[in-house]
Structure 1
Amino acid sequence: MDMGMGNELDRVMFYEHARKTAEAAYNKNPLDADNLTRWGGALIELSQFQSPSESKNMLSEAESKLEEALEINPKKHDAMWCLGNALTTHGFITPDEEAARPYFQKAAIYFQQASEEDPTNELYMKSLEVSSKAPQLHAEIHRGGPHLGMGEPSSFNPTTKSTNKNEISDFAYDVMGWMCLAVGIVVWIGFAKNNMPPQPPM
């Protein structure tokens, strides 16, 4: 097995463990907004390794968990940001531009709210900035054909970008990569705070 495959399998196992742990914790305490945020984050990460239809189902479930977290704690900025990320990802794996647009619009609202709650968070600000360019990036990705993520849920891999040196696209891909990584870090730190034993994602 090559290193890339091993790391990918480790990530899937980590986030699957995180999802199951969050589900068990939810059964004991359904009003834990931190746990719901970790659960939503784990689902976002797992969605990257699924078929497009299964990825959409996982993202819908993640959105539901994150909305539930915000019902419990309406000022929870990490849940707002994760929800914006889930909606953005959902938009990118929706091929039809008109169908994808509402996901991007809702994501921008959550990124804005997260930025207002934590104005010093640079990732929130970058996410908000990129969300305005998401429809244009979506069009570029889906015009580019299957090698640019049409058949893969993880459309944000910078190695799949086209050779077009469009600065907006380069910037957007970079930020989307940071966003996916950051969701994973949110999940991992959340479990580390609860003294959970899993290894950090690679």
Structure 2
Amino acid sequence: MEMGDEFDRILLFEHARKTCETNYSKNPLDAENLTKWGGALIELSQFQNPAESKSMLSDAVLKLKEALEINPKRHDAMWCLGNAYTTTAFMTPDMEQAKPYFDKAADYFQQAVEEEPSNDLYRKSLEVSSKAPDLHAEIHKQQAFGQQVLGGAGASSSSTQTASKKKKSNDFTYDVLGWVILAAGLVVWLGFAKNQAPPQPPR
């Protein structure tokens, strides 16, 4: 991703977050606003250091659950919760600790599909979520192996092959995570853009 594009996305979602915060102070029972707020936090979390990222994801989960308390059938909030839990799971190296997040993610993706069965994005997310734990195990195994080899006095060709495999694995991971986060971002951005459309000029 280009540096300018990244900066534009940060600005866009930071603006969305602030707008949602302002709207919340006026109407705390607006489930759509809470969903957008949670989605903006998920987006912003990918640009933070790990501790801040986890904190933002936790905050996003609270907002999205609040949206579902107001409107239990809000499928976009369910889907965003699935994304928040998936991202948290991938950020948790220990599989035993990550598994409950993957389980919650799958559960929320399933609920979103049940609420809106025709939504291809929800169905794809549910399908990908079933493969996520295996992907998590593979990534963290290769990262640990790569660190051992690169930290040891192994042959340079072995290090190069490991680095190459690790890069492919990481590329695939970021493709999957990027796809999920991009999709979440599009949902939030479209909703945000719809509400922020400039007024029509007077005739």
TM-score calculated relative to the size of structure 1: 0.82
- Is 1:163–2:175 an aligned residue pair? no
Distance 2:2 2:178 in 1: 17
Deviation at 1:174, TM superposition (A): 4.6
- Aligned equivalent of 1:7: 5
RMSD: 2.2
Q: Which residue of structure 2 lines up, in the alignment, with residue 73 of structure 1?
A: 71
Once the two structures are TM-superposed, the CA of residue 112 in structure 1 deviates from its matched residue by: 0.3
How many residues are matched? 178
Quick one: percent identity of the two aligned structures? Answer: 69
Give the secondary structure class of the aligned counterpart of 2:2: helix
2:28 corresponds to which residue? 30
Measured after TM superposition, the shift of residue 195 of structure 1 is: 2.5
Gaps of 5+ in 2: 147-164, 199-203
Q: Distance in 2 between matches of 1:177 and 1:59?
A: 16
**Which moved further from structure 2: 186-195 or 110-119?**
186-195
For the 8 Å contact 1:127–1:175, the answer to whether it is kept is no
1:144 CA drift (Å): 2.5
Deviates more, 1:54-63 or 1:179-188: 179-188
Shift of 1:192: 1.7
Question: Aligned equivalents of 1:37 and 1:88: distance in 2?
Answer: 17
Aligned amino acid, residue 183 of structure 1: A
Alignment deviations for residues 61-104 of structure 1 (CA, whole Å, 9 cap, x no partner): 00000000000010000000000000000000011111110000
TM-superposition CA deviations, 1:127-164 (whole Å, max 9, x none): 11111111111111212228x9xxxxxxxxxxx97436
Q: Give 1:123-138 correspondences, 5 Å limit.
A: 123-138=121-136
Question: 1: distance between equivalents of 2:175 and 2:67?
Answer: 28
- Which consecutive segments of 4 or more residues in structure 1 shift more than 4 A? 172-175
Counterpart in 1 of 2:192?
A: 191
In the alignment, does 2:88 pair up with 1:90? Answer: yes
Which of 137, 140, 143 aligns to 1:139? It is 137
Matching residue's letter, 2:48: Q
* 1:14-53 map, 5 Å: 14-53=12-51
Residue 153 (structure 1) aligns with:
none
**Which amino acid in 1 is paired with 2:143?**
G
Query: Counting helix residues as a fraction of each chain, which structure ranks higher?
Result: 2
* Alpha-carbon distance between aligned partners in 2 of 1:125 and 1:161, rounded to the nearest angstrom: 29
- 1:193 is matched by which residue type in structure 2? K
CA contact (8 A) 1:12 1:46 kept: yes
- Distance in 1 (alpha carbons) for counterparts of 2:197 and 2:43: 18
